[in-house]
Structure formats: C-alpha cells, structure tokens
C-alpha cells in the first residue's frame, strides 16, 4: 500500500523526445497559443481536429497516451459536473423529460462543448509540466518576465520561490507518506469515522510534517546564505537557456496549425 | 511461531516510466527469540522489505505470513499483523507529535483499544524497557535529546506489545555509546522472546549481535546465513557498498599468514589468539 502513489497532475516525466528538448520559453508560448485558440473554438465538431492535434503532440512527446489522459483524471470530475449543470439548466427544444427535469437539445450540445473545451485545455496544458523539468519551467518564466524587473516586478524572487516550492513538493509527499506509514504502524486509522474524527486522526501526521518543513526551510536558507546567495543581481547560470531554430520552427508550426484549425472552425462549419 | 517470507518481489510504479525494481525473490524465516540482521548498500531495498513485514506494503508477488496469517490486501488479519510486528522507522523521532511523553507512548495502545486503566502501567513498563524512568512522563518529547527522542519512539512501538520488533537503521546518527546501549537493549528483548529484525549499514553490529544475516544487493538476496558463513562469503565475493570491519580484515590476514589465528569479529578472541601465539 502506497498512499500517495499515483502520478499527480503536474508531474514531470523524463523521456528523450523532441518536445522535452525544446526551450521552456518556447513551450510556455506554445501552451499560451493553444489555450487562447481553444477558447476561440465555436463548434463542438471542431474538437475532432484538436483531438488529432493532441495525438500528434503526444506522439512527438514519446509519452504513452494513457499517461497523459491519466493526469487529467481529476479534471474529468469537474468537466462532468459542469456538463451536468448545462444539461439540466439550458432551455430549448426538449429531448425528453423526467418529472420536473427537462433535457434539451441545446443543453446536450452545450454540455458536450464545455466539457470538451475544459478537457482539451487541461490536456494541452499538462504537456508543459509533463515534458519540462520544474527548474527549467521556473527559469523560463523568470526570463519571460525579466523585462518587467525595470518596473519593480520581482521576477527572480518569484521564480526562485517557485523553484523551491516545486523542488519540495515531491519531498513533502514522500515525508507525508513516510509519517503516515509510521503512524499506521502504531495502529492509527485514517479512513474510519466521522469527518471530525478523520481530521483529528490526521494531527499525528500534520504536526511532525510541520516540524520537518520548518526545519527544512531553515536548513535551506542557512545553506543558501552560506553559499553567498543574495538575490538575482549579477547571478550567472549553469545552464543558460538557448533559443534554437527548432524552437522557432515548433512555435511557428504550432501557430500555423492552430490558425488553420480556427479558420476551419469559422468557415467550413455552419 | 515465525514470520515467513517466500519469494517476495516488489516494483515501485509498475508499468510507468518511473518503474523501479526494489526487491526480487526474497526468502527467509524469522523465529521468535531470534535476531536477524538485514545489511545492504543504500537503495538495496531494505526499507521496502521491512514495510512488507507488517502490511504497510502488500506483496505484489510472493508471500509474507506472520504466525500463520498471510499479509494480503483487505485481509481481516491486517491490523492483527500490524500489532504483532512493531515497526520502528528510520529516524523514528520524526514521527513524535504529542505534548507529553506519556501521551506519545499511549498513542499506539489507545489505537489498539487497550482499556484506559491499563495504559499508565503499560506506558511505564515500555519506557522502563528502553531505560527511561517516570520523570520523563510529563516532559515534552520535543525537548529531549536526540538519543532520548529515539528511545521514546521505540518505547511507543513497544507499547503495542508486539511479538516481533523490526527496526530500520535505528542506530543512524547515534553516538557510539547510545549505539551500544541500543544493541544491548535489543539483545535483552531477544532474550525475552521477541523476534528481532534489524536493518543496518553497520556490518560490525550485525556480526556481533545476530543469529543470521541477510545481505541485499540491488534488491536481490546475496546470502542469508550465520555470521561466520556470511564472513566466508564476503571474503570470497566482494559486494559493492559493503566493507568488512577492520578487525575481520586484520584477523583474516593473520589467519592466512599464521594459520592459528581464527577469522573473527570479536576483539577478545583476536587478542587471546595473538597472546597465545607469543607464548
Ligand atoms: N516510494 C518510492 N517510490 C519509488 N521508488 C522508491 C520508493 N521508495 C524506494 N524506492 C526505490 O526503491 C529502491 C529501494 O529503496 P529502499 O528505500 O528500500 O532502499 P534502502 O535499502 O532502505 O536504502 P537506504 O539505506 O538509503 O535507506 C531504491 O532504488 C529507491 O529509489
Ligand atoms: Mg532505508
């Protein structure tokens, strides 16, 4: 029994693929292009095209499709929820009715549309984190926002905070798992009784976890100061980001494809 | 009455890119009143192995049977197994959470539903086993020294009244005095009839205290035998990340040169042999 075993949304999965090797700034830009385009889609049927694009991107990333879909599982519940709201509360031509509930054709269409849109948004966005190391992601964001430092925007500090937070998420999950196991070995229950009882059962996990986290944070800041960390000014990098031709090609290619998909959505479909 | 592990294998994150094979075909038996040590380099699968012994991990293949009860998913015996097999984790002091030592040690027996009236006595006797007296009861576990914290953590496991005690590197980070104290404590528990399974990096402790030693290398069982036979094996076959204690190397060298000195891990035996050689 491993309590936090599933691959979580936003986890990096290493692989040697063209997408993994792209510059993080390129991938961030691509995801922005994809997300805005998906918001501009008008017809449910166009999502077939987006589905094909998703398959192409997946094959380029050399990740199993199953894995990509699995990371979106939590959002599926949200998608079903919004879909059901649309089914039950949209007025129009009735398809069938059950007591006070009437399901309309417009409702079904809206439900399919919003659910698919949400799903594609999440699936495409998840590629960013699936194929980019958290550190690279933070680096990319820092570089993208660095022009704003002139206006007092703390780009470096935010990126450093994000890096540290990301760096500690797996560690925290491991620690939580370890402490939960240790308390289970002492006979603790985590899955029985009322909500209040379960919350209380979690105290023996939360208290040691807090202590470890504060200890870690203190160790980390000491270690950083001991190595003369003093903010972003004048700091050099071990792996400077380099924008290659392949990045330009990827960004342009993707923009072209999404533009075509959008044009098809506006002109070919009624 | 024993823990029987038969061809146990474990893989983390099977069928994903993060797949790691941690254990492969491990087989052994631990009797009550016996001491077995598990030794291996870091990442050899020691912690994974011990988590199987009380059902925190369920065998993916092979089996673990504790006093006739098999560890399986949804087994009605799972909690009984957990109670029988006390597990002391690596750095157990990190699991302390209560406001007093009394509450801390009482945590496990309360979980098992021991009547409240029996708890103070049980807490006292568990603390006494690890050599802490009544003056500790009301103190906060967070304000104790590292060694004392560890003793409280071990007492909190003993308070479940287990029949086997499994410890994952309990000596890590202790000074040599506390280390010796802990080994003596475990030896005393063994004499009382507990089955002891000790995970350690320290071949020295394993040789001196155990009845049997199991050596793991990258998740596979290299040898499982008496300390004497394990030494013979290790002299013939070097295992990465494991070095023989200096005294064993020294006595082996003397053995090869003189033929009279025995290969040993006990300095008394070596001193005796050298003394006799001079005469
Ligand atoms: N929760 C986990 N998820 C994925 N892999 C794991 C997990 N726990 C352990 N592993 C991997 O399984 C292997 C065995 O790990 P294990 O913790 O059992 O080793 P160990 O012998 O206890 O090491 P150490 O002496 O450092 O404590 C290692 O390769 C480790 O990376
Ligand atoms: Mg370990």
> What pLDDT, in 10s, does the model give residues A5-48?
455 556 788 888 999 999 999 999 999 999 999 999 999 889 99
Q: Which of A186, A189, A212 is nearest residue B157 as measured by Cβ atoms?
A: A186
**Which one has a higher pLDDT value, A89 or A178?**
A178
For residue A207, the chain B residues in CB contact (below 8 A) are 97
Which residue among B47, B53, B167, B171 has the greatest number of ligand 1 atoms within 8 angstroms of its CB, and so is best to mutate?
Answer: B47
Measured distance CA(A12)–CA(B202) in Å, rounded: 36
Q: Is the pLDDT of residue A238 over 60?
A: yes
> Using CB atoms, which residue from B97, B111, B160 is nearest to A208?
B97
With cut-offs at 50, 70 and 90, classify the pLDDT of residue A4: very low
**B169 three-state secondary structure:** coil
Q: Does domain B2-236 have CATH number 3.40.50.300?
A: yes
Q: Which residue of B has its CA nearest to A63?
A: B17
How far is the alpha carbon of A187 from chain B, nearest alpha carbon, in Å? 5
Nearest of A216, A215, A175, A203 to residue B104 by alpha carbon: A203
> Are B57 and A13 in contact (CB < 8 Å)?
no
Nearest CA to ligand 1 atom 2: B12
Beta strands B212-217 and B220-225: pairing type?
antiparallel
* pLDDT number for residue A270: 65
> What 3 state SS string does A160-221 have?
HHHHHHHHHHHHHHHHHHHHHHHHHHCCCCCCCCCHHHHHHHHHHHHHHHHHHHHHHHHHHH
CB-based burial label for B158 (10 Å; 0-12, 13-18, 19+): buried
Please judge whether B94 and A187 are an interchain contact, meaning their C-beta atoms are less than 8 angstroms apart. Answer: no
Q: How far apart are CA B109 and CA A197, in angstroms?
A: 18
Q: Work out the number of other CB atoms within 10 angstroms of the CB of residue B61.
A: 12
Helix (H) or strand (E) holding B31: strand B20-31
State the CB neighbour count (10 A cutoff) for residue A193: 12
Spans of chain B, pLDDT less than 50: none
Least confident window among A151-155, A260-264, B33-37, B82-86: A151-155
CATH 3.40.50.300 domain locations along chain B: 2-236
For range A107-132, the mean pLDDT: 89
Of A7, A203, A208, the CB nearest to B95: A208
CA distance B135 to chain A (A): 24
Please give the average per-residue pLDDT across A199-204, as a whole number: 85
The model's confidence at residue A139, banded by pLDDT at 50, 70 and 90, is confident
Q: Which ipTM value was assigned to this complex? A: 0.81
| pLDDT higher at B188 or A169 | B188
Taking residues A71-94, report their average pLDDT. 81
A16 vs A170, residue with greater confidence:
A16
Of all residues in chain B, the one with the smallest CA distance to A4 is B13
Contacts of B94 in chain A (CB under 8 A): 179, 182, 208, 211-212
Q: Report the pLDDT value the prediction gives residue B110, as an integer from 0 to 100.
A: 92
How far apart CA A239 and CA A136 sit, in angstroms, is: 9
A208 to chain B, minimum CA–CA distance in Å? Answer: 6
Q: Are the beta carbons of A179 and B95 separated by less than 8 Å?
A: yes
Residues, CB within 5 angstroms of ligand 2 (ion): B 47
**Do residues B156 and B168 lie in contact, with contact meaning Cβ atoms separated by under 8 Å?**
no
Length of chain B: 279
Report the share of chain A in percent with pLDDT over 90. 28
Closest CA to B88 of B20, B152, B179, B15: B152
- pLDDT for residue B37: 96
**Domain range annotation of chain A:** 8-132+242-270
Residue found under tokens 């590292």: B146
Residues with CB under 6 A from ligand 1: B 12-13, 20, 22, 40, 42-48
Residue A61 structure tokens: 């990333």
**By alpha-carbon position, which residue is closest to atom 12 of ligand 1?**
B22
Mean pLDDT confidence for A92-121: 84
Residue range B124-160, pLDDT digits in tens: 999 999 989 889 999 999 999 888 999 999 999 999 9
Cα–Cα nearest to B254, from B226, B237, B273: B273
pLDDT at A8: 57
Q: Which of B196, B182, B161, B175 is nearest to B53 (CA)?
A: B196
Q: According to the model, what pLDDT value does residue A31 have?
A: 94
């Amino acid at each position: 029994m491993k309590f936090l075993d599933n691959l979580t949304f936003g986890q990096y999965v290493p692989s040697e693929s063209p997408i993994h090797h792209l510059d993080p700034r390129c991938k961030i830009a691509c995801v922005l292009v994809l997300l805005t385009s998906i918001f501009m889609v008008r017809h449910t049927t166009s999502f077939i095209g987006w589905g094909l694009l998703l398959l192409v991107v997946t094959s380029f990333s050399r990740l199993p499709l199953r894995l990509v879909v699995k990371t979106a599982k939590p959002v599926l519940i949200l998608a079903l929820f919004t879909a059901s709201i649309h089914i039950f509360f949209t007025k129009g031509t009735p398809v069938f009715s059950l007591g006070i509930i009437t399901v309309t054709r417009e409702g079904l269409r809206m439900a399919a549309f919003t659910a698919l849109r949400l799903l594609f948004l999440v699936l495409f966005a998840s590629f960013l984190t699936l194929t980019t190391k958290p550190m690279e992601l933070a680096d990319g964001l820092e570089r993208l926002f660095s022009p704003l430092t002139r206006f007092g925007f703390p780009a470096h500090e935010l990126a450093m905070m994000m890096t540290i937070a990301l760096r500690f998420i797996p560690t925290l999950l491991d620690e939580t798992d370890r402490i939960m196991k240790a308390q289970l070995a002492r006979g603790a229950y985590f899955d029985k009784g009322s909500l209040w009882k379960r919350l209380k059962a979690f105290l023996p996990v939360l208290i040691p976890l807090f202590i470890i986290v504060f200890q870690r944070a203190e160790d980390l800041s000491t270690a950083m100061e001991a190595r003369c960390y003093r903010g972003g000014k004048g700091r050099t990098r071990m792996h400077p980001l380099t924008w290659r031709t392949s990045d330009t090609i990827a960004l342009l290619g993707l923009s072209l494809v999404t533009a075509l998909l959008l044009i098809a959505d506006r002109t070919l479909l009624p | 009455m024993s823990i029987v592990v038969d061809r146990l294998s474990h893989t983390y994150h099977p069928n994903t890119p993060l797949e790691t094979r941690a254990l492969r075909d491990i087989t052994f038996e631990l009797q009550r009143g016996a001491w077995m040590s598990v030794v291996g380099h870091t990442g050899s699968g020691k912690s994974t192995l011990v988590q199987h012994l009380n059902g925190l991990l369920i065998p993916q293949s092979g089996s673990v049977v504790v006093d006739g009860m098999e560890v399986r998913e949804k087994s009605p015996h799972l909690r009984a197994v957990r109670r029988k097999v006390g597990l002391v984790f690596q750095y157990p002091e990190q699991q302390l959470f209560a406001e007093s030592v009394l509450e801390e040690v009482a945590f496990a027996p309360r979980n098992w539903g021991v009547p409240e009236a029996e708890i103070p006595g049980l807490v006292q006797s568990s603390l006494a086993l690890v050599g802490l007296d009544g003056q500790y009861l009301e103190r906060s576990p967070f304000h104790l020294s590292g060694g004392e914290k560890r003793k409280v953590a071990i007492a909190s496991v003993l308070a479940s009244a287990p029949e086997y005690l499994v410890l994952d590197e309990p000596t890590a980070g202790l000074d040599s005095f506390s280390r010796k104290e802990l080994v003596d404590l475990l030896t005393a528990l063994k004499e009382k009839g507990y089955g002891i399974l000790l995970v350690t990096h320290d071949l020295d402790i394993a040789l001196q205290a155990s009845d049997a030693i199991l050596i793991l290398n990258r998740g596979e069982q290299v040898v499982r035998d008496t300390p004497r036979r394990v030494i013979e094996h290790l002299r013939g076959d070097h295992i990465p990340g494991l070095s023989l204690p200096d005294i064993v190397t020294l006595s082996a060298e003397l053995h090869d040169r003189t033929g009279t000195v025995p290969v040993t891990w006990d300095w008394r035996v070596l001193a005796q042999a050298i003394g006799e050689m001079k005469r």
